[in-house]
Amino acid sequence: MTRQLHLNAFLMGVGHHEAAWRHPRTDVRNLTDVTHFQRLAQLAERGKLDSVFFADGLAVDPRVKHNTQAIFEPITLLTAMATVTERVGLIATATTGYLEPYTLARSFASLDHISGGRAGWNIVTSAGADEAANFGIDGIPDHAGRYRRAAEFVDVATALWDSWEDDALVLDETTGIFADPDRVHPINHHGEHFTVQGPLNTPRPVQGRPLLVQAGSSESGRDFASRYAEAIFTAQRSVEDGKAFYRDVKSRAVKFGRSADDVKILPGIVPFIAPTEAAALELEQQFTDLISPEYSLRQLSQMLGVDLTAHALDAPLPALPPIEQIQGNKSRYQLVKDLAGSESLTVRQLIAKLGGGRGHRTFAGTAEQVADNLELWFTEGAADGFNIMPPYLPGGLEDFVGQVVPILQRRGLFRTDYTATTLRGHYGLAHRPSRYTVTAA
Amino acid sequence: MTRQLHLNAFLMGVGHHEAAWRHPRTDVRNLTDVTHFQRLAQLAERGKLDSVFFADGLAVDPRVKHNTQAIFEPITLLTAMATVTERVGLIATATTGYLEPYTLARSFASLDHISGGRAGWNIVTSAGADEAANFGIDGIPDHAGRYRRAAEFVDVATALWDSWEDDALVLDETTGIFADPDRVHPINHHGEHFTVQGPLNTPRPVQGRPLLVQAGSSESGRDFASRYAEAIFTAQRSVEDGKAFYRDVKSRAVKFGRSADDVKILPGIVPFIAPTEAAALELEQQFTDLISPEYSLRQLSQMLGVDLTAHALDAPLPALPPIEQIQGNKSRYQLVKDLAGSESLTVRQLIAKLGGGRGHRTFAGTAEQVADNLELWFTEGAADGFNIMPPYLPGGLEDFVGQVVPILQRRGLFRTDYTATTLRGHYGLAHRPSRYTVTAA
């Protein structure tokens, strides 16, 4: 079979553009309406997309003024979406910073059981001081330490998913054998951050384990993703940058003893789609004009770790510290710094560039132009697929599914129907046996 | 309005009786089928029940042989049930022992938003060494310490739910005001167990706060429940015991400055319902005959904290330690000890008595007799309602809803339709204003 794209719909409230909720193409009441999200899942499934996905964070600025942030917690929201769909994958972000592996493993196992094998976990390490302060921790946790904790966390979670072998649940009413005790195992983990006896209190997930997703692009982030992730969401602004990242991560994966195919790379794209290129650019401009500079300066300050809230909008960025001093999201910091520097942007221009997707690239054009662009990245070796970030919802996803997907399908670049029932299956990954299963020699 | 009963359906797999999964009236495949639980929620809603409820624990014995334990995690399972119902309340057990208040408050807020105000939290403190071992803690946590942590945990969780005032989410597209920053508050909690800055990263739950439920019956447990709980699930074996417990908890609640009506007391009952009393007793015996002594001895050993797995089935219980030495579930320990002692039961007889509801009372009779018994407890002042524990599912709940509920309704003892839209409303409790809301003098 020819290589085909993998497409994930990255959903955020009424759209990724920070001013989406103020635009007439959205209805702000949808933010608090679970049926809005259920309809989005059904829409993604009509488009045969691999998955839908929610970002997450465990803090909010009390001075929140303009925001399309989550009202709902991702795992519960995706559960509600699971009940009205049959095939589309369901990926939730959850942090290794402040949760416990036992409860996280169990929640994802439950989503996987409820959805019949469609759960995915986007692993984040939580860089913000605001999040730390909600869990009794003072200051920003050290970058390298976060990744060490994340690695141990993932090791424990996957061991817990393995702790019931695939066929451990027997359910034989006649003999009264509920589960086979020889196929349910304590994990007896004793590590730097966690001590966990196990087994997990639920049978093995339908998929064996949920799909593991990651988005780190720093050095530690790339190593972590190359070692553990089965799909990587990444922000790449040019096809050259995308190719370099793609090559780098695939070769790291091979160094970790994996096949290059075991990890799918999905750069983000915020598509503005209209019947003509001019109309698409005009649509994008409408959203830019609704941006609140005050809110954006707060966002930019958080992204860079530098207070810009009193900075003049029509001046360039002030000098920024070297990346070695950054403990937060290093790759996003570098991306924004490079973007501002290379194009000599004023703060106002930078804010407009970032408004669509917080550093992910926007693309305005016809459905044909969007398809051409995705095909280019795919065939040039910059992507295995894409993280589609509709600037407004549901309209932006309706246009992508209704107009771009059929073009990709006609070109043979995307499935015309699902061929698998699980999320791992959509991404071309096999069900993995439990580490405790002894196979015959 | 005359005082009416509150009825909660305590759901467990294919039934509370430990051998339910082996009986021909159940289908063991339902244990792993989320639509089984969705149908149970719809059934409870047809019966106009106040709520459905799941127990929970964070460990499983690796030698699990016979069990109707959870496959699903309660909050995700109740979310799936929320999407197919409109009115029935949804109560999940969650522990204050090993979770963080921020993430727990958020999950319940999300369930409350998704369900339109139907979430309830059954607060447990987690007494088991097996659970502790999954969270890096060695040995059974001290009884009093568990309740101190629980009290602080509840204080933090309720503060987080209050951190967004009711009208903080403004969503004004024209002015660009998303939320009112004067109505979103940090909580700045610094306590013995938790340090939490806040605010919560989601607007206030629909109910203001989820219904708070508790089941502790020891001294510390009663104090805790009387202070915080709005509904109490309790195991009482006689109407006299029930009355004493009822009077005690209500008077404690008044001492804590609450109204006696602010806390509803719901003893558990495992009803075997059949057209004649003889047929009901015969049905109960069928279930008893399916009990596996080996499994039951393990259960009893865990309940008492004494290893009985090698004990002779037809001998009486060995001498048990005094309650002061018990760090686990003190009230259940006392109940089982009293039961075995007062009736001079052999271990086999004790196991049969406990098989239906792990210490909760079973009642075998006609629908009319069940209704009479509930009415007696209610009018004698032993209950504000009941925790209905069907011995097998869905049949046991179908019989209760189809046969017992109509009798209670004809007698004016139970609602014939919902009069409220929220779980708090069903239990006759008002929406509480946020502690941060300043009301005009």
Let me know the angle formed at the C-alpha of A113 by A112 and A115, rounded to the nearest 5 degrees.
65
Q: Which residues contact B124 (CB under 8 A, 6 or more apart)?
A: B56, B93, B94, B95, B96, B97, B215
Residues of chain A with pLDDT under 70: 1, 64-69, 440-441
Q: Which two tokens stand for residue B131?
A: 């659970």
Model pLDDT for residues B313-346, shown as the tens digit of each residue: 898 888 888 888 877 777 778 888 888 887 788 8
Cis-peptide, bond into residue B394, ω within 30° of zero: yes
Two tokens, residue A15: 């759209």
Token duo for residue A185: 């195992």
pLDDT at A67: 58
CA dist B231 → B13, B212, B386 (Å): 23, 7, 10
* B288 pLDDT higher than 70: yes
Q: How many residues does chain B have?
A: 441
DSSP assignment of B44-75? HHHTT-SEEEE---S---TT--S----SS-HH
Cβ neighbours of A181 in B, within 8 Å? 62-65
Q: Which residue has the higher pLDDT, B354 or B421?
A: B421
- Rounded average pLDDT over B215-236: 93
Residues composing chain A: 441
- Beta-carbon count within 10 A of B256 CB: 12
Per-residue pLDDT at B261: 94
Which pair of structure tokens corresponds to residue A342? 């290379």
Strand ranges (DSSP E) for B351-403? 361-365, 385-388
User: What 8-state DSSP symbol labels residue A298?
Assistant: H
B201 and A135: CB-CB below 8 Å? no
**Nearest-CA distance from B59 to chain A in Å?**
5
Residue A19: closest CA among chain B residues belongs to which residue?
B176
Task: Give B96-106 pLDDT, tens digit per residue.
Answer: 999 999 999 99
If residue A332 lies in a helix (H) or strand (E), which one and from where to where? helix A330-342
Count residue pairs from A and B with Cβ separation < 8 A.
Answer: 208
Contact B197 A133 (CB under 8 A): yes
Calpha distance A423→A409 (Å, rounded)? 20
As a whole number of angstroms, the distance between CA B114 and CA A33 comes to 8
With a cut of 80, say whether residue B227 has pLDDT above it: yes
Q: Which two tokens stand for residue B207?
A: 């109910």
Contacts of B31 (CB under 8 A, 6+ apart): A171, B13, B14, B21, B68, B71
CB B96 within 8 A of CB B124: yes
pLDDT at A111: 98
Q: Nearest CA to B51 among B8, B110, B95, B104?
A: B8
Are A104 and B75 spatial neighbours (Cβ–Cβ below 8 Å)?
A: no
Which residues, at least 6 apart from A425, have a Cβ–Cβ distance to it below 8 Å? Answer: A117, A419
**Poorest-pLDDT segment among A253-262, A355-364, B30-39, B56-65:** B56-65
Q: Which two tokens stand for residue B412?
A: 């004016």
**For position B393, what pLDDT does the model report?**
97
pLDDT in tens, B169-188: 988 888 777 889 899 999 99
Chain A residues near residue B76 by CB distance under 8 angstroms = 75-76, 79, 107, 110-111, 114
Residue B266 φ/ψ, nearest 5 degrees = -125, 95
Which segment of A116-120, B166-170, B265-269 scores lowest on mean pLDDT? B166-170
Instruction: Identify all chain B residues contacting A13, using CB atoms and an 8 Å cutoff.
Output: none
Q: Which residues contact A155 (CB under 8 A, 6 or more apart)?
A: A189, A191
Left if phi > 0, otherwise alpha if psi is -120 to 50, otherwise beta: which for B225? alpha
Residue B354: predicted pLDDT: 82
Mutate to test the interface with B, among A107, A149, A178, A289 (most CBs of B within 10 A): A178
Coil, helix or strand at residue B103 = helix
Q: How confident is the model at residue B306 (pLDDT cuts 50, 70, 90)?
A: confident
Maximum Cα interatomic distance, chain A, rounded to a whole number of Å = 78
Q: Could you tell me the pLDDT band of residue B82, with boundaries at 50, 70 and 90?
A: very high
ipTM: 0.94
pLDDT tens figures, B191-203: 999 999 999 999 9
Asked whether the beta carbons of B125 and B56 are under 8 A apart, the reply is no
pLDDT at A356: 77
A389: its two tokens: 């970030």
Inter-chain touch B200–A60, beta carbons under 8 Å? yes
| Closest chain B residue to the Cα of A31, Cα to Cα | B171
* Interchain contact, B63 vs A184, CB within 8 Å: yes
Quickly count: other Cβ atoms within 10 Å of residue A388's Cβ: 29
**What global pTM score does this model have?**
0.94
